[in-house]
Amino acid sequence: MVDRVVTETEQRAGRRRPIRCATMASIVDSLKLGQTLTCTVTKLPASEADGKTIARLMRADRGNAKSLKRAQRLRGQRLNVYNRGNRDWTSREEPAKVVYVSPGQAWTMTYTLDRAADLKKVEKCISIKAK
The pTM is what?
A: 0.75
Q: Could you tell me how far CA 106 lies from the centroid of its own chain?
A: 14
Give the closest residue to 96 by CA, choosing from 51, 41, 59, 57.
59
Residue 71 one-letter amino acid: A
pLDDT at position 15 is: 59
User: Please, what sign has the CA dihedral across residues 110, 115, 117, 123?
Assistant: negative
Q: What is the DSSP letter of 30?
A: G
The residues near 85 (Cβ < 8 Å, ≥ 6 apart) are none
Looking at residue 4, its pLDDT comes to 60
What pLDDT score was predicted for residue 6? 54
Give residue 42's identity as a one-letter amino acid code.
T
Give the model confidence (pLDDT) of 99-108 as tens digits: 999 999 999 9
**Is 37:131 a contact under the CB 8 Å cutoff?**
yes
Query: What letter represents residue 79's amino acid?
Result: L
Annotate 103-116 with three-state secondary structure.
CCCEEEEECCHHHH
Residue range(s) defining the domain that contains residue 113: 2-130
Q: What's the total number of domains in the chain?
A: 1
pLDDT tens profile 9-34: 555 666 566 555 555 678 899 999 99
